[in-house]
Copies of this chain bind each other. A is one copy, B any other.
Amino acid sequence: MGFDPKALKYNEAGLIPAIAQDSKSGEVLMMAWMNAEAVAKTLETQKVTYWSRSRQSFWIKGETSGHVQKLVDFRYDCDQDCILVLVEQTGAACHTNRRTCFYTAVRDGETVELMKPLED
């Protein structure tokens, strides 16, 4: 069946959460937001493109940092209200220069840092 980005369910701000997962390691890298046009751009260009809520503009991941996400597979969930993109991640996904944004764990009530920033 043909896919129309408008078939997904967007919140009152016109956005849908998108989870990025490393297609090789399986690591969950980050979560950000897309609007329908960002979904279309991601599929057209194979460059994962979010909508930046703070800048109110398209955010082609890695366009300035070089830490691009090449789309490997685009999936969405049973409720059509969440996206999962499998990606080839160049460098760090996180703006702190860590591979993933999810580098803090809570264990026995304490926060634990799981990884250090990558070396440049």
Interface residues of A (CB under 8 A from B): 1-3, 17, 19, 21, 25-28, 30-31, 43, 73-79, 82, 84, 94-96, 98, 101-107, 109-111, 114
Query: Taking CB as reference atom, which chain B residue is nearest A1?
Result: B111
Assess A110 versus B19: contact at CB under 8 Å? Given A77-B31, A77-B101.
no
Copies in the complex: 2
Assess A110 versus B75: contact at CB under 8 Å? Given A21-B28, A28-B19, A31-B82.
no
Q: Which of B28, B75, B82, B107 has a CB less than 8 Å from the CB of A84?
A: B28
Q: Cα distance A91–B34 when bound, in Å?
A: 30
Assess A75 versus B3: contact at CB under 8 Å? Given A28-B28, A31-B82, A84-B28.
no
